[in-house]
Amino acid sequence: MNNFFRFLLTACMAMISAMAMAQPVADVHIVTGFRSAHFGMDATQVHAAIAQDFKPATDTVTVLENPTEKTQIILLRLAKLEPGPGPASISYILGTTSNRLMHINVVWKTDATPSEETRNKVAAAGVQLANYFRSLAWKPGASTSGTADGGKGIVLFAGVDSNNAGIEVRVSGVATNGIDGVAANPTGAAQLVLSYIANVTKPDIAAIKPGSF
């Protein structure tokens, strides 16, 4: 089963790449956010969007601070969110200077020792998401598929629109074949991350100015 799924995932990634070559250029996709949560919203508007999309219990939403990036995070925990298996978390990240929504991460993560079946489900959900986003129209050269990330997993899909906003679907801890065709047995938790980014090159986070030191 493990070898079969490696073959299936590799085949799906090849299919995604083929779809990219055939994708028409007209009506290119614009990334505006996730569901009712749109880039540029303030915290009150984000909370309203969460209520509209998920109607969560009050104890499933928490507000956190990222001390390194100086951003505010509105974190929603869900018991289930398709297409990923098991629970999911959604982080709505507000920028350091703007205090406006600028990044959203949707994360499905297993425990440290998931079964092979669970790993396969996480990988299958990643391929589903990659296929969905690949079916949208992107500018030529503005999307990529099946990119290994230095042992941290595989970017199943990434795309950037004409406003420099982007989408990324990343999976780790699942059975895949490397570029050399050698199978790598996964360890640790399996994780699928779907990211929506308002500006892929200039995130609104705290950083030391060039030349300060």
Query: Could you report the per-residue pLDDT of 38-57, keeping only the tens digit for each?
Result: 999 999 999 999 999 999 99
Provide the mean pLDDT of the chain: 87
Q: Determine the pLDDT at residue 60.
A: 95
pLDDT in the model for residue 148: 78
Q: With 60 as the cut, is the pLDDT of residue 101 above it?
A: yes
Distances (CA, A) of 185 to 62, 126, 173, 174, 182: 35, 18, 8, 8, 10
What's the alpha-carbon Rg for the chain, to the nearest Å? 18
Q: Report phi then psi at 118, rounded to 5.
A: -65, -40
Cα dihedral 85→75→134→178 (10° resolution): -60
Taking the C-alpha atoms of residue 139 and residue 116, their distance in angstroms, rounded to an integer, is 37
Residue 29 pLDDT > 80, yes or no? yes
Neighbours of 139 (CB within 10 A): 14
Whether the per-residue pLDDT at 182 is higher than 80: the answer is: no
| pLDDT of 5 strictly over 50 | no
Tens of pLDDT, residue by residue over 108-118, are 999 999 999 99
Query: Does the pTM exceed 0.95?
Result: no
